[in-house]
Each structure stands twice: as structure tokens, then as C-alpha cells.
Amino acid sequence: MPHPVTAARGYRAPWLFASASLLTSLAVNAQQPAAPPAAAPTPPPPPAWQQGKGADMADSKLAPHAGKNTETPASEIPIEKLKVPKGFKVEIWSTGTPGGRAMARGDKGKIYVGTRGIGRVYEITDKGSERESRVVVDKLVQPAGVAFQDGALYVMAINKVLRFDGIEDNAGVEPVDLTDKFNLPPQQHHNWKYITFGPDKKLYVPFGAPCNICEPPEEYAQIRRYNPDGSGMEVIVRGVRNSLGFDWHPKTGEFWFVDQGRDWLGDKGPQEELNRLTKPGKEFFGYPWCHAEGIADPEIKKADPCKGVTRPVALLGPHASALGTRFYTGSMFPADYKNSLFIARKGSWNRNQKFGYDVVNVRIGADGKTAKVTPFLTGFLDEKANAFWGRPAYVLPMPDGAMLVSDEQLGAIYRVSYAGPAKKKS
Amino acid sequence: MKASGRRAWLAALLLLAGPALGQQPVPYDERLKSCAACHGADGNSQTAGVPSIAGQPKVFLENHLVLTREGMRGSAVMQEQVRGLSDKEIIAISAHFTALPARSMPGKSDQGLVERGRQLAGKLRCGICHLQDFRGQQQVPGLAGQREEYLVSTMIAFRDNPPPGVDTQMSAALYGVSDADINAMAHFLSRFRAAAK
């Protein structure tokens, strides 16, 4: 069984210099748990989220926030605190799906929702005045990835790929296990997924760097695409730390993706990135040497670290946890929202003053190359108290033009709609 | 650890022969009695191998109970106990035990061992997540006054054989720590009194 510490295997991280001796002592520990190490113990590698933490931050109390694994009833959700631009409305659409984050819509309208720690995938059925949910599959290792194509639900956990054929009509369908076809690498950190099918009907899958900052092995820090059955794998993006949101520009067809910046370089950044891919498989986006607007990494160094690196189109803020990324093509919102981008920022943990906890709208310039970021759905964060109550993780534009927003913290989904400018009479 | 595990099993079997066997949903009071049978009426365990749960952070208790119910964490005994619990029941049970005061119930202290444990816990920076008085916070359990043998077996399990569903942070934190050092830290922590809330 792989020990979590073997995350160190085969790549160079600042905290690891003698991987061979480390692995040897690990093996001894695994076989003889009762035997104390013979030599002085090697300093323990820090947990993945602490890697790269500088000596000046040794006493920092910053750590990832606790998730919530229990159901939150609608009566305990302070929806009145949420703010949207004039003419828009936000309401609670469904509750009772703890940990729910990425959403995929079935051909017949059912919504499938992935999770991380709680190990479940939910199915939500819209009954008109209310929503019903059930657990499709559970006990998986962070099944965050859900996608739907040709009547089938695809679920991707860190170590498993399942396909549920015809699930909208046949709730009890046994999944087809596609795991072997996808050749998933073993490391868990940053390898929970966001998955979606592209206009080419291929499945797009990210493989994050298994650390905060390190030179990752060949199979990580990239985005790949596969045929739906797991064949025909191609790496289309390289040099990304952890991309968990992407979509295709409705006009240009280009692939746009977010990438989360590294931790422990302070409250200023490096900021998270919004990137545009123009030459699939041929571009490099900088990780681990070059971040954001061209910041050389202070720990993982090389000459000319930013040379040949494709720079981001826009910066999305420091430690903001940019996740769900979708272009809006509906007709309900005002016309200037057409073909704009919505990005959910789940919110920071590695920052003393919390940041993000909102959904932003990104307007793309006429040339399709520049972007302007504006807050759209806010109110999850109380900046004065430096406290949050909800964490918007993913967005899902619906056929009627409204948009669903998942709140991973409260296991709820909100619906944002546009009612037009306020009428003078009422 | 082995013997205490056996005792825990016996306790569970006794419980299973009681109300948990019925098909009817178990009333909340009965559930609390089940908890109390092993974890102590006031949440401070007097049963070897069974942790004290009084005063533990609510989020930690909730998360642990949910993941145990889902079959992703916890012992077989506990999985059986929490089977079919609703989220509402889990929240209520967690709130109940969070509100109870933790009592340290140590046996004789070895001052040398206490001091060594104190130094090790400082060196390993346990207090960053578990807080300086080891009372825990949010998803991070309290350690102050916890049963010594439970701390030992849990730390060894984190170090050597973390089960799926368990956060890997503790495994990394305990990497390369010897059994002797774990014993010293458990001795120190089990005798530590957190400041009153």
C-alpha cells in the first residue's frame, strides 16, 4: 500500500534531498511498525499543503478551512446576505447535498454533483416547486469529477473512473469501470478532478501538481484529453499547478482555463490565473518556475524561468481558489453578458485577510485576448469580521438562461436569474 | 492496544444485543446511552482503547461520525453504532458531547516522560493546528486529557497504516517519529489540562 509520504517519490522538492534513503526507511517502517528507526529520524516532510512554507511563516496559523459534511437546511442559509447586480435575483434552489461542488446536467435535466471528502456523487431531480436528491454512488476517493455525454454519466475519483449508461431512466444501473483505460497516476494531492466534454466530444481531465511547489514528475501539472472510453490520450496543456475549471470560448472555440497559484509566498500572491490556450499540446504555462504575471519562484529556480511561458489573459486574485469556469451563452441575462465568462472563487485559506468567496464575471475583449474581471455574486464573506459562511465552487448555466451556483460549504445550490430592470409601478 | 481492542469489541457486542438490534429507529436518548456505555456518561471514557469525546470540537465530531457512517473511517464497532444515523442526529449528538467538559483522568505521571513529551510536542509544532493548549479547533481534535493508550494507538496508526478517508496531514506530521517518542507525547498530552472554555 502506498504510504502518503511516498508523495515524494521521483521528483525534486525543496524539502527532499535523499529520496533513496527516505524510501528505504519508509519500507522498514511499513514492514515493522513496532521497530523504532535505527538511525536519527529524517526530518518529516511537511504535509502537502505546508510545502514551501518559509521559515518566516513557521508560526502562521493558516491552514485549509474545515469542510462541513452534514446537511444544512434552507432555514439555516442566510441567502438574504447575497448580493447580485440590479435586476438579478438569487434564491436557494436545492439543499441537502453536503460537499456538493462540480455539477453536470443530464440530457433529460437531472443534475449530477460531485464531492471530495464525503465520497459521494448526488443526482438532483427538479420536481418543479422543489428538488429531490439521491446518492448515485458513495465510498469513492474524492469523486469530484462529473460529466455527461450521450446519455451516460461519467464519474472520476482520484483513483477510479465510472460510466453510468442511461442513468436518467435507469436509476439503479451498474456502472462500467473504465479505470484501467485512463492510466491514472498514484498521487492524491491536487488530483481530485474537474472533468467535462469538449466540443470535440473528448473528455478533458486535469492532473494537478502533487505538492504546493515542486518539480513534478512527467505525468502531473497538466491537462489531458481522452476519447470517452479512455483511449487516445493527449496532453494538451503543460505547466499548470492545479486547474479545476475550464470551458471553450463560444465564438473562437479556444480553450480557457483557470489555474490556482502557489501558497506561502504571502498575502499578495502569486495571483491565480485565467489562461487561454491557442496551440494545444505546444504551450507551457510556467509551473513551477514562473507564476502569474511573470513572478520567478523563489525556491524552484532555473535560468530565464519565464522564457517561453504563455502568460495569463487575466489575474484572478491572490489565493482566491478559482474553480468553476463557464461561458454564458443564454438569453435571460442582459445582452452584454452574452459570451462572457463566470468564475466561482471558493475563497482563500492561505491569506491572513480572506479573499474571494464570490462569483466574478469576466468580459472578454473584442479581440478575444483580453479580459476584465468584475464581482457578480458576493456576500459570502464578511470582510470586517474576516469570516465566511459559504463557499461558491461551481457555476452551471441552464437551458432557460438562469445559472446555478454550488456552495460546497453548505451543500446547497443557488439559482441566479434575471427579472429585468425593476418596474416603476411595483 | 490489542487487549483494549478486544474489550471494545465486547462492549460493542453487549450494546448490539440491546436496543441497536431492533428495526425501529433508535430514539435519541437511547443513542446517547449507547455512546455513554463506552465513552462515559459525561463523555470522558473510562474504557481502555475508547477515546474521550467530551469537549471535542463540534466539526471534528460531526465529520468523524459522518465519515464513519459512510464506512470511510472509524472502527467496525463504531460503524455498526452509527449505521443509519441521520445528519440531524449526528449534529445533535455532536453538540451534546461538545458542550460537556473534558476531564483529564491520568494515572501516575512520570515527570521525566511528561517533560520529554512536552518538548517533542513543541518541536513537532502540534500546537499550530491543535492549538497551544491542545483543545483542538474546527476539524482538528482536542488532545489535552485524551486517554493515553488511545493517543498512542492512533498516532501509530497514522504513522504506519492510515486507512482510506483519513486526512494525510497527520501521517506526514508523524513521519519518522519513533514509538518511544509517541509514547512520551501521549503521556504528556493525556496529562495536559486545557484552559477552561
pLDDT greater at residue B165 or residue A46: A46
- pLDDT for the residue A347: 97
**Does A188 lie in the same domain as A42?**
no
B67, B125, B177 ranked by CB distance to A41: nearest: B177
- pLDDT for the residue B196: 53
**Does A284 lie in the same domain as A388?**
yes
**Count of CB atoms within 10 A of residue A421's CB?**
9
Interface test with A, best of B175, B177, B183 (most A CBs within 10 A): B175
ipTM field: 0.74
User: Which residue is closest to B64 within chain A, CA to CA?
Assistant: A69
Domains of chain B: which residue ranges? 2-99, 111-190
Contact residues, A window 163-192, toward B, CB-based 8 Å cutoff: 188-189
User: Which residue is closest to B125 within chain A, CA to CA?
Assistant: A59
Least trusted range by pLDDT, from A69-83, A341-355, B32-46, B160-174: B160-174
**Does A111 lie in the same domain as A42?**
no
Sorting pLDDT into bands at 50, 70 and 90, what band is B15?
very low
Domain B2-99, architecture per CATH: Orthogonal Bundle (1.10)
**Does A351 lie in the same domain as A244?**
yes
Cis peptide bond N-terminal to A270, omega within 30: yes
Candidates A408, A263, A381; CA nearest to A324 is A408
Is there a domain that residue A288 lies in? yes
**Does A101 lie in the same domain as A23?**
no
- pLDDT for the residue A36: 42
Q: Which phi and psi angles does B3 have, rounded to 5°?
A: -65, -40
B111-190 has the same fold as B2-99: yes
**Does A175 lie in the same domain as A123?**
yes
- pLDDT for the residue A296: 96
pLDDT greater at residue B122 or residue A10: B122
- pLDDT for the residue B4: 46
- pLDDT for the residue A3: 36
B90 contacts in chain A (CB < 8 Å): 70
Contact residues, A window 68-107, toward B, CB-based 8 Å cutoff: 68-71, 98
User: In this complex, do B180 and A70 lie within 8 Å of one another by their Cβ atoms?
Assistant: no
Q: Which residues constitute the domain of residue A24?
A: 4-47
User: In this complex, do A119 and B180 lie within 8 Å of one another by their Cβ atoms?
Assistant: no
Is there a domain that residue A92 lies in? yes
* pLDDT mean for each 10 residues of chain A (426 residues): 34 35 31 42 60 74 84 96 97 97 98 95 96 96 96 97 98 97 90 97 96 91 98 98 97 96 91 96 97 95 96 96 97 96 96 96 88 96 95 98 98 95 54
**Does A173 lie in the same domain as A39?**
no
Is there a domain that residue A124 lies in? yes
Residue A283 maps to which CATH number?
Answer: 2.120.10.30
Is there a domain that residue A245 lies in? yes
- pLDDT for the residue B18: 41
B63, B125, B171 ranked by CB distance to A5: nearest: B171
Is there a domain that residue A165 lies in? yes
Domain B111-190, architecture per CATH: Orthogonal Bundle (1.10)
Is there a domain that residue A90 lies in? yes
- pLDDT for the residue A254: 95
Interface test with A, best of B90, B140, B161, B168 (most A CBs within 10 A): B168
Model confidence at B22: pLDDT above 50: no
Is there a domain that residue A329 lies in? yes
Euclidean distance between CA atoms A320 and A269, whole angstroms: 9
Q: Is B159 on the interface with A (CB under 8 A)?
A: yes
**Does A267 lie in the same domain as A142?**
yes
- pLDDT for the residue A45: 60
Is there a domain that residue A60 lies in? no
**Does A29 lie in the same domain as A86?**
no
Alpha carbon of A326: minimum distance to chain B alpha carbons (Å): 31
**Does A255 lie in the same domain as A356?**
yes
- pLDDT for the residue B11: 47
User: In this complex, do A66 and B168 lie within 8 Å of one another by their Cβ atoms?
Assistant: no
Q: Is A117 on the interface with B (CB under 8 A)?
A: yes
Edge-to-edge strand list for the sheet holding A152-156 = A145-149, A152-156, A161-165, A176-177
Q: Considering the entire predicted model, what is its pTM?
A: 0.84
Candidates B176, B164, B39, B184; CA nearest to B116 is B184
Alpha carbon of A356: minimum distance to chain B alpha carbons (Å): 21
B161 contacts in chain A (CB < 8 Å): 1, 33
- pLDDT for the residue A43: 53
State the residue for C-alpha cell 416547486.
Answer: A129
B62, B138, B172 ranked by CB distance to A70: nearest: B62
Number of domains in chain A: 2
**Does A126 lie in the same domain as A41?**
no
pLDDT (tens digit per residue) in B53-99: 999 999 999 999 999 999 888 888 999 999 889 999 999 999 999 99
**Does A356 lie in the same domain as A284?**
yes
Model confidence at B21: pLDDT above 50: no
The SS3 call for residue A378 is strand
What is each CA distance from A71 to A94, A341, A412, B74, B90, in whole angstroms?
Answer: 11, 30, 9, 21, 10
